[in-house]
A and B are shown apart, each in its own frame.
Chain A
C-alpha cells in the first residue's frame, strides 16, 4: 500500500544552522507533496508544498526539493530560529484529496 518514510525522527540544531528532513514515498501516482508544521497543542499547518511537475520550490528560509525518479523529497530550513522548533510532517497526495503522512520529525533549535 501507499507509504511515506520520514527521517530523522528527531533533529537538534543550533540557531542559525540549517535543518534538512527527508521523505521517501512508494506511490508513483502521487503528484502533490506538502509539508506541515505542528506546534504543541495545535493542528498541523501547511508551510510549503510542491507538485510533481516542479523540482524545487522556495519560500524565504524554507525550500522543498523533489526527485520523482528516486521517489524522495526533502525540506530545507536555513538560518533556523528558536520559533522553528516544532514537529514537521511530510505527506503525499493524489486524486481525491487524501494525504498519506510521514511519521514526523521533532525539530529543536537551540539558542
Chain B
C-alpha cells in the first residue's frame, strides 16, 4: 500500500461543530486530493492541492476548506458540520501533473448527528 494515513478513521460529531480530517503521506507526491463517497454518486472531488499552499476547489467544495502547509500533510476542515456531510472521505495522492494513477487512503467515516 502507498504510504497514506488518514486520521481519524471514524468520527461522530454534532451538527454545527468544526471537524478536521488529516491526510499524511510518506511518498513525497506533489498532488493530494480529498474525495467524498456516497451511495449512487461514486467518488466526488472536494478539493485538491498541487503543492504546498497551492489548493483549488473540486466539484463539491461548498462547506469545506483545506490547507497544506507541508508536502506530507493535507487537512480537510468542515467549518460547521451538517448532516449532509455525513459520508466516507478519502484522501488520494498522485505524482505527476498529467492524469496518472492516484493512490487512495483507507478512508474516514464521518457521521454528523
Contacts and interface: CB of A to CB of B under 8 A. Distances in A.
A80 interface: no
Contact of B99 (A1, A44, A89, A94): A94
Interface in B27-63: 31, 33, 35, 40-45, 48, 50, 58-59
Contact of A42 (B50, B59, B102, B106): B106
A25 interface: no
B99 A93 contact: yes
B99 A43 contact: no
A50 B71 CA distance: 29
Contact of B42 (A46, A96, A98, A103): A103
A99 B41 contact: no
B101 A43 contact: no
A49 to B, nearest CB: 7
25 contacts: A30-B99, A32-B98, A32-B100, A34-B101, A34-B102, A41-B106, A43-B4, A43-B90, A43-B105, A43-B107, A45-B104, A46-B103, A93-B99, A95-B97, A95-B98, A96-B97, A97-B96, A97-B98, A97-B102, A98-B48, A98-B58, A99-B99, A100-B45, A102-B42, A103-B42
A49 B107 CA distance: 22
B20 to A, nearest CB: 20
A24 interface: no
A63 B47 CA distance: 31
Interface string A80-106: 000000000100011111111111100
